[in-house]
């Protein structure tokens, strides 16, 4: 279902040339909750509309992003035809770590789907149509690339054997639980429908104590779980995916951190954006 949405831009009359186009106006957009009567304008005001183009709800985009990798990985795991050599069709891997990796990967995306359906509350309701192609393309192709090598008949198990696999597994699991705890804590921060922004603080849950040191611990835990998965599978494509995810999440975390700092005068100074004391 496409949603057509416009942004309302209001500026003082004196600031705009009579022949200016919408693209020339660089002022901020009005928020949804603002009431026209309370706006700081004189007797007349000009309203400029900008068409955002076709939009999709963030829920639709997130769900499509997550269902894809789940299905694609399982296609490679079960050795469906036309992927590997025909003699391996519908066979099962003899390495235990391959089965473990499938469980971990699927658990990660199932958790994400459930969170999208029941836990998350995002402030802006929609995103542009282009995003779904960009995001899905990236997630689906990365999942296919990783799954191809992990489930390959010629897969080589990790160099340090069971110890490496166990370490990766425990780190990954720990961070997944941590990530979930943070999402729940952020959801409980404000009642449903409220648009008031609040600073998140540590709760009784030990996984949220990282809030003392970091502004966006959900990203920290996410990176941690992918690092655990990389160590567990010892696979370069997974490491590459983790690196790209880290870079993207650092960008998001820094933006979030900056907006927190700008919004709240008394924001705790000990906190970094994503890595404690480093970033």
Q: Is residue 138 close enough to count as binding another protein by CB under 8 A?
A: no
Q: Is residue 20 close enough to count as binding another protein by CB under 8 A?
A: no
Of the two residues 215 and 218, which places its CB atom closer to another protein in the complex?
215
Q: Is residue 123 close enough to count as binding another protein by CB under 8 A?
A: no
Question: DSSP letter string over the chain?
Answer: --EEEEEEEEE-GGGS-TT--GGG--SPPPPTT--GGGSS--S--EEEEEEEEEEEEHHHHHHHHHHHHHHHHHHHHTT-TTTS-GGGTT---S-HHHHHHHHHHHHHHHHHHHHHHHT---SS-EEEHHHHHHHHHHHHHHHHHHHHHHT-TT----TTHHHHHHHHHHHHHHHHHHHHHHHHHHHTTS-TT----------SSGGGGGGGTBS-HHHHHHHHHHHHHHHHH--HHHHHHHHHHHHHHHHHHHHHHHHHHHH-TT--TT-BSSSTTT-
By CB under 8 A, name the one of 149, 164, 202, 203 that touches another protein. 149
Q: Shortest approach of another protein to residue 252 CB, angstroms?
A: 9
What character string, x for contact with another protein (CB under 8 A) and - otherwise, covers 219-248?
Answer: --------------xxxxx-----------
Q: Shortest approach of another protein to residue 19 CB, angstroms?
A: 11
Of the two residues 206 and 255, which places its CB atom closer to another protein in the complex?
255
Q: Is residue 251 close enough to count as binding another protein by CB under 8 A?
A: yes
Of the two residues 103 and 247, which places its CB atom closer to another protein in the complex?
247
By CB under 8 A, name the one of 11, 127, 147, 150 that touches another protein. 150
* Stretch near another protein under the rule CB under 8 A, chosen from 28-36, 57-65, 189-197, 257-265: 257-265
Q: How many residues bind another protein (CB under 8 A)?
A: 22
Interacting positions 33-52 with another protein (CB under 8 A): 50
Q: Is residue 152 close enough to count as binding another protein by CB under 8 A?
A: yes
| 202 contact partners, CB below 8 Å, separation of at least 6 | 208, 209, 210, 211, 212
- How far is residue 155's CA from residue 93's CA, in Å, rounded to a whole number? 9
Interacting positions 159-218 with another protein (CB under 8 A): 159
Q: Is residue 271 close enough to count as binding another protein by CB under 8 A?
A: no
Residues that bind another protein (CB under 8 A): 21, 23, 50, 149-150, 152, 154-156, 159, 233-237, 251, 254-255, 257-258, 261-262
């Amino acid at each position: 279902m496409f949603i057509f949405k416009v942004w309302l831009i209001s500026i003082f009359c004196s600031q705009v040339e009579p022949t200016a186009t919408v693209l020339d106006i660089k002022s901020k957009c009005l928020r949804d909750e603002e009431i026209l009567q309370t706006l700081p304008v004189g007797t007349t005001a000009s309203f400029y509309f900008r068409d955002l183009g076709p939009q999709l709800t963030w829920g639709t985009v997130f769900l499509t992003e997550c269902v894809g990798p789940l299905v694609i990985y399982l296609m490679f795991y079960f050795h469906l035809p036309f992927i590997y050599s025909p003699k391996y069709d519908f066979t099962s891997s003899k390495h235990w770590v391959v089965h473990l990796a499938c469980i971990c990967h699927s658990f990660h995306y199932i958790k994400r789907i459930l969170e999208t359906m029941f836990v998350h509350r995002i402030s802006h309701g929609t995103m542009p149509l282009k995003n779904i192609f960009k995001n899905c393309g990236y997630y689906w192709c990365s999942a296919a690339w990783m799954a191809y090598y992990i489930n390959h008949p010629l897969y080589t198990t990790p160099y340090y054997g069971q110890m490496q696999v166990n370490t990766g597994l425990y780190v990954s699991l720990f961070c997944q639980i941590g990530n979930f705890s943070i999402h729940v804590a952020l959801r409980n921060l404000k009642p449903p429908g409220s648009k008031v922004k609040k600073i998140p603080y540590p709760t009784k849950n030990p996984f949220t104590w990282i809030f003392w040191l970091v502004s966006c611990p959900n990203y920290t835990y996410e990176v941690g779980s992918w690092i655990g998965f990389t160590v567990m599978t010892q696979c370069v494509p997974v490491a590459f995916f983790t690196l790209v995810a880290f870079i993207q999440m650092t960008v998001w975390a820094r933006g979030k951190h900056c907006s927190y700092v700008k919004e709240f005068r008394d924001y705790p100074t000990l906190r970094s954006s994503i890595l404690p004391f480093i970033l």
